[in-house]
Structure 1
């Protein structure tokens, strides 16, 4: 017989912590953080063997079509501006991008029933460092396919299996993206809460968040592409609505992952 106590407890935690409202707050800060984060990453492109298209392609795998057009057009408009002004704005971009991490920290602290006792400077520095860590992991996710495909193609070509490699690589590309997502979530669940945790304690929520985020993103993207027409309903702001809904669903998944980790942490402490 299936033990339903876990689901009852999770439902209780979602209501008690007001997860829908927290997800709405987090989605707002993620929206404010998204473009500064992309601006910072794009400024690194001249120093890396990747292009702006590689960066956008990473999001294109998951983001709904209308929101991707908004991201592409907005990023193109920003990058056409004065490069010097853009360079001076990098510090502000990182500061703004770290607001998303700060919102995640607040949501996780509520899940673990702890107060934020770290000073403003310490908490902000942690958010900035986590932002840089996410940028680093994101760049690794972009570079692995570039070098992996070149190295794999060269090795398989020596054995006359280059065509077979293309099929295998298309599968590996998805697995690499999922692994990178898992690492990002694990780092957030381990470091962000104001509580001493082991790295392994973040695994249950990371598994849920990775699988849930991929499935929800792909499902919502399919729904928007085939059934919904937000442009007809909302006009020119339809793409913004789609992006906000996607970020809200993403935030909901991330927070529930934190609630799952907090549940198992409390259960372990109660043993």
Structure 2
């Protein structure tokens, strides 16, 4: 049969080329169908992302996220100093509390100068005081500090209820216990992360290894991202009063919030260092104003991530009436997004 490579008189192509010759029409047909599917799928996904972005922006504006974040910032500021006291108390169990300043120095180039100034001033004041013994007085002081710090977590929960379109239906006892547990988790994690960071840094310094130091400097960023994303995921999951949202949707929102918080903090620090004029504008309050602005931006990103989770969960079940949902005119779920 002339034209078939296996049966040509020359026999120069061999069995492999003959097989490719036989499969060529099948491959061409599969590629043609796949190209059409990929073009349609890419266009559909692009439309879905645009629709999702529009809905998130609409909810961001409707829920007045910047104004809500401003209110949370006030209560968070009242809670930040008791939270620092809790971290110092827990940290003193594992290491000398004066090494906390070393941990703060490690992030001095990342956090805004105002935040470093406020936190370092409070740390120095607490370090200068005599550590309390493990007695009833220490326990009562720690409980009072946790209770005071839980006010910041409570304000964040209120903001998450707004972002997730729910009203608080939990009783005082249940809400208080949940808030205190979240506060203890955050404080314990903060103390543990600082302890591990300082310990690793001392261990690497004792080895005098440039390779270890370089590896640590590279890995600290992805590790920090994973820790931030995990903490935010827990807050999204157990903070608001709503049916448990699947982890797959929570991961999207927490990834956005953690990634843009790290990037936004770095950009804000760079801006405040090179272009910011807080000291010239606000005088001695410049550092505090910069610190408040950074907290506000952080909470805005946290609530924006919650809006993303809410919209993705709405796509999953747009007609489900969730316990505690706010009385709003029902929104039509986009059929394009549901695809």
| TM-score (normalised: structure 2) | 0.72
Per mean C-alpha deviation after superposition, the further-off stretch among 41-50 and 164-173 is: 41-50
- The residue aligned with 2:108 is 60
Cα distance in 2 for partners of 1:226, 1:216 equals: 15
Gap change, CA 1:162 and 1:56, over 3 Å in 2:
closer
Query: SS of the counterpart of 1:44?
Result: helix
Per mean C-alpha deviation after superposition, the further-off stretch among 123-132 and 3-12 is: 3-12
- The residue aligned with 1:18 is 64
Q: CA deviation at 1:80?
A: 3.4
Structure 1 residue runs without a partner (length 5+) = none
Structure 2 residue runs without a partner (length 5+) = 1-42, 319-337
Question: Are the counterparts in 1 of residues 167 and 241 from structure 2 also a CA contact under 8 Å?
Answer: yes
> Aligned runs of 1:1-271 on 2, under 5 Å?
2-3=46-47, 4-49=50-95, 51-57=99-105, 60-81=108-129, 87=138, 88-148=140-200, 162-197=209-244, 198-270=246-318
Question: Are the counterparts in 1 of residues 82 and 146 from structure 2 also a CA contact under 8 Å?
Answer: yes
Tell me the number of residue pairs that the alignment of Structure 1 and Structure 2 aligns.
Answer: 266
Per mean C-alpha deviation after superposition, the further-off stretch among 129-138 and 210-219 is: 129-138
Per mean C-alpha deviation after superposition, the further-off stretch among 84-93 and 169-178 is: 84-93
Q: CA deviation at 1:153?
A: 8.0
Cα distance in 1 for partners of 2:107, 2:82 equals: 15
Query: SS of the counterpart of 2:58?
Result: helix
Instruction: Write out per-residue CA displacement over residues 249-268 of structure 1, whole angstroms, 9 at most, x where no aligned residue.
Output: 00100000111101101111
Cα distance in 2 for partners of 1:169, 1:84 equals: 34
Higher relative contact order (CA 8 A, sep 6+): 1
Q: Which is richer in helix?
A: 1
Query: SS of the counterpart of 2:175?
Result: helix
Query: SS of the counterpart of 1:135?
Result: helix
Gap change, CA 1:17 and 1:58, over 3 Å in 2:
farther
- Name the Cα RMSD after superposition: 2.5
Cα distance in 2 for partners of 1:78, 1:140 equals: 18
